[in-house]
Amino acid sequence: MFLAKVEGSVVATKKDPSMEGRKLLLLRPQLVDEKDPSRFRPGMNTIVAVDGLGAGIGEMVLFCQGSSARLAPNLKEAPVDAVVIGIVDTVDVLGKQVYNAKT
């Protein structure tokens, strides 16, 4: 599992039939900063992930990739490589809260 911030959405009107009706989000992975573990630094890449939870832009989410993504409900036969599996409330690193969805 990985942490990411939702940066946008992706719309594809023509796609594999098994992807019909699936919401797609653009995610930027978040990494704990090695120099200052009390904060995140954004990853260099972006990832498109299927979202069945209703996450929105700016939210922190948990996602998984690869064969684990197809274990999510109703995705076994879909050509999916990443899926949102949680919307994050808080993150604590070394006893310090570095993310809170309410603030």
Long-range contacts, stretch 27-34, CB < 8 angstroms, 24+ apart: 27/61, 27/63, 27/82, 27/84, 28/4, 29/2, 29/3, 29/4, 30/3, 30/4, 30/5, 30/60, 32/93, 32/98
CATH of the domain at 55: 2.40.50.220
Predicted confidence (pLDDT) at residue 73 exceeds the cutoff of 90:
no
Predicted confidence (pLDDT) at residue 64 exceeds the cutoff of 90:
yes
Q: Which domain covers residue 57, as residue numbers?
A: 2-100
In this predicted structure, what is the pLDDT of residue 70? Answer: 81
Higher pLDDT, 75 or 36: 36
Q: What is the mean pLDDT of the chain?
A: 94
| Model confidence pTM above 0.85 | yes
Q: What 3-state class would DSSP assign to 18?
A: helix
Question: Whose CA is closest to 4, among 88, 93, 92, 98?
Answer: 88
Predicted confidence (pLDDT) at residue 74 exceeds the cutoff of 90:
no
State the total domains in the chain.
Answer: 1
